Structure 1
Amino acid sequence: MKQLVEGFAQQLRDAMDIGEKATVTFSGPKYNNVVISGMGGSGIGGNIIQSYVADKVSVPVIVNKGYTVPAFVGPDTLFIASSFSGNTEETLAAVRAAMRSDASVCFVTSGGELLRIAQENSMPYIAIPGESQQPRACLGYSLVQMLYLLHHAELLDDTFKTEVRQSINLLEELSGSIKVQASALANAFHNKLPMLYVSDAMEPVAVRFQQQISQNAKQLSHVNVFPEMSHNEIEGWQHPENLYAQAAVLLIKTSYDHPRVRLRMDLTKKVFERKAQDVLEMEARGATFLEQAFHLIHMFDWVSVYLAELNNVDPNTIDNIDNLKGELSKK
């Protein structure tokens, strides 16, 4: 896993090359909505894209995580299915439902049943490398290809290409300092309950971090979002005392935070400091949304790997997930 995290900037570069070489055409009408369907490491990219395109794409973009699709899905829907293996059962069920609704379905996958469906039905797809067998370590491949699909569907201009290239340069430039910061965060989270707080603009990045802590470090964490949490969860910072004594809070800040959200964070920090063992802050680097998102993603991936080492666990294995899938396959 450490080698895969190390290669994230190169993965983004390779993903750009794949996207540029992809020959994808859409013959359908102009789309009135976009649905991105995927689970886990293959699906979180859809959430990041949803945030990224909120002020760029003029039609609704939603993320679908489950077996069914919304009732509005139909002929004017661009339905993007993302599954690293191509065999994710929830995504396959959603794809079949979207096909029955005559949506325009396209795919990002390394193979499996989704690739078969795409090829047999002459549907647009972009194939990504599957050698690593680690979907959560291939976010760069899937996310970038979904951006290319939106571009080929004439919903997104090509500005994202410049932003991804700038992100690659930033990650390479900050490689050393990212590891140093990540190691310090991992030590702060060791034997603690990480409490991750972020603005609504970057919520998917914090959720991705939570997923990586779970899968790589085999450790629980908690995520909530400003400003919503200041209307409810802040009141919960009273009991039980022994739980908060083991909490390590991280406030994740970016230049995309609303000024009033920043104020809420600063005021709420005082509540955290009265209860939690550690209260930390991190500021995203970069000039654009994608630069800041990729900076945080790469940093947090390193945190999860270093935390796995501190927890003396193998970040490559996901025994509970594999066991669950095995039991489901028997039913």
Structure 2
Amino acid sequence: MKQLVEGFAQQLRDAMDIGEKATVTFSGFKYNNVVIAGMGGSGIGGNLIQSYVADKLSVPVVVNKGYTVPAFVGRHTLFIASSFSGNTEETIAAVRAAMRSDASVCFVTSGGELLRIAKENSMPFITIPGESQQPRVCLGYTVVLMLYLLHHAELLDNTFKTELRQSIDLLEELSGSIRVQASALANAFHNKLPMLYVSDAMEPVALRFQQQINENAKQLSHVNVFPEMNYNEVEGWQQPENLFGQLAVLLIKTRYDHPRVHLRMDLTKKILEGKVQNVLEMEARGATFLEQTFHLIHMFDWVSVYLAELNNVDPNTIDNINYLRGELSKE
């Protein structure tokens, strides 16, 4: 797993190369909305795309994580299916529903049933390398290639390419310091329940972190966002007091947070410092949204790997997930 995490910057570079060489064509008519379908390590890329394009696309982007699709899906929907294996049952079901609704369906996958559907129906697709057999370590491929699909569909301009190149440069420049900071965070989270707080704009980054802690370190975690948590969860920090010693809080800041969100974080920190020993704070590096996003993702991936070592678990195994898949396949 360490080797796969270490190669993240190169993965972004390889993904750009795949995207530049991809030959995909779309119908050319105007799309009224975009739906991105995917689960787990493949699906979180959709959430990241949704945040990134929020101020760039003139049409809404919805992330679909389930067997069904929204009623608005139709002929003027660009429907992007993201599945590393191509055999994710929820995504396959959603694709078939989108096809029945006459949506324009395209794919990012390494193979499986989705690639068969794409080829059989002459639908646009971009394939990703499948050697790792680990969807969660292929986030660079899925995010970058979905951006290229949006670009080929004439919804996104070329700006993302420059930001991707800058992100790669940043990760390579900061590789050493990222690992040092990640190691310190892992030690702070060891034998604790990490409580991750972030702005609404960066919620997908925190969700990705939670997922990596879950899958790699075999450890529970919790995520909430500002400003919403100030209207409910902050009041819950009163009971049960006997659990507070088992918690570690991380406030994640970026330059893309609303100024009032930073004020809320600072005020909330004062409340939490009276209850929890570890109230940590970190700020993303980078000049653009993508740079800050990938900086955080790469650091948090390292945290999950170091935490796996501290927990004495194998980050490559997913026994509970495999059990569920096996039992579901019997039905």
TM-score range normalised by the length of the shorter chain: over 0.9
Counterpart residue identity of residue 203, structure 2 = E
- Aligned partner of 2:46 in structure 1 is 46
The alignment partner of 2:328 has SS state of helix
Comparing 274-283 with 8-17, greater Cα deviation is found at: 274-283
State whether residues 28 and 153 of structure 2, in contact with CA within 8 Å, keep that contact through their aligned partners in structure 1: no
Structure 1 Cα separation of the partners of residues 314 and 290 of structure 2:
30
Whole-angstrom distance in 2 between the partners of 1:172 and 1:245:
37
CA contact (8 A) 1:213 1:304 kept: yes
- Conservation of the 8 A alpha-carbon contact between 2:254 and 2:284: yes
In structure 2, C-alpha distance between the alignment counterparts of 1:201 and 1:156, rounded to whole Å = 19
**Whole-angstrom distance in 1 between the partners of 2:117 and 2:28:** 18
Give how far 1:276 is off. 1.1
Q: Distance in 2 between matches of 1:126 and 1:184?
A: 38
**Partner letter of residue 314 of structure 1?**
D
3-state SS, counterpart of residue 55 of structure 1 = coil
Alpha-carbon contact 1:28-1:104 (below 8 Å) kept: no
Give the aligned partner of residue 159 of structure 1: 159
- State the partner residue of 1:266: 266
Aligned match of 1:69? 69
| Match of residue 329 from structure 1 | 329
- CA distance in 1 between counterparts of 2:314 and 2:277 reads 27
For 1:183 and 1:76, the matched residues in 2 are separated by: 47
Matches of 1:150 and 1:244, distance apart in 2: 44
How many Å separate the matches in 2 of 1:267 and 1:154? 43
- Determine if contact 1:25/1:153 at 8 Å carries over to the other structure: yes
The answer for the alignment partner of 1:215 in structure 2 is 215
1:26-45 aligned within 5 A: 26-45=26-45
Q: Could you tell me how far apart the structure 2 residues matched to 1:96 and 1:29 are?
A: 21
Q: In structure 1, what is the Cα distance between the partners aligned to 2:242 and 2:108?
A: 45
Amino acid corresponding to residue 100 of structure 1 in structure 2: R
Structure 1 residues 172-198: Cα deviation after superposition (integer angstroms, max 9, x where no partner): 000000000000000000000100000
Q: Is the 8 A contact 2:193 2:222 kept in 1?
A: yes
Structure 1 segments, 4+ long, off by >4 Å, are none
Instruction: Provide the residue aligned with 2:298 in structure 1.
Output: 298
Q: Equivalent residues in 2 for 1:5-154 (5 A)?
A: 5-154=5-154
* Structure 2 SS opposite 1:287: coil
1:256-286 deviations in Å (ceiling 9; x for gaps): 0100000000000011101112000010000
Q: How far apart, CA to CA, are the structure 1 residues paired with 2:130 and 2:115?
A: 12
Checking the alignment, whether the CA contact within 8 Å between 2:251 and 2:281 is kept in structure 1 is yes
Alpha-carbon distance in structure 2 between the residues aligned to 1:28 and 1:170: 35
TM-score by length of 2: 1.00
Work out the CA distance in 2 between the residues paired with 1:318 and 1:282: 29
Distance 1:104 1:32 in 2: 11
- CA distance in 2 between counterparts of 1:3 and 1:242 reads 39
> What letter corresponds to residue 283 of structure 2 in structure 1?
E
Deviations 1:88-122 (A, max 9, x none): 00000000000000000000000000000000100
1:309 aligns with 2:309: yes
Which residue in 2 is equivalent to 1:171?
171
Task: Using the TM superposition, give the Cα deviation of residue 243 of structure 1 relative to its aligned residue in structure 2, in angstroms.
Answer: 1.3
Q: What's the CA shift for 1:28? A: 4.5
Aligned mates of 1:159, 1:55 — CA distance in 2: 13
CA deviation after TM superposition for structure 1 residue 29, in Å = 1.6
Distance 1:149 1:197 in 2: 31
The gaps in structure 1 that reach 5 residues or longer are: none
> C-alpha deviations, 1:301-327, integer Å up to 9, x for none?
000000000000000000000000000
Partner SS state of residue 274, structure 2: helix
How far is the alpha carbon of 1:46 from its aligned partner? 0.5
Q: Supply the RMSD in Å over aligned alpha carbons.
A: 0.5
Whole-Å separation in 1 of the counterparts to 2:136 and 2:116: 22
In the TM superposition, what are the counterparts of 1:171-320 in structure 2 within 5 Å?
A: 171-320=171-320
Contact 1:246 1:277 in 2 (8 A): no
Residues 140-160 of structure 1: per-residue CA shift (max 9 Å, x gap): 000000000000000000100
Scaled by the length of structure 1, the TM-score of the pair is 1.00
Moved more, 272-281 or 68-77: 272-281
Number of aligned residue pairs: give it. Answer: 331
Identity rate, percent: 88
Cα distance in 2, alignment partners of residues 276 and 328 from structure 1: 41
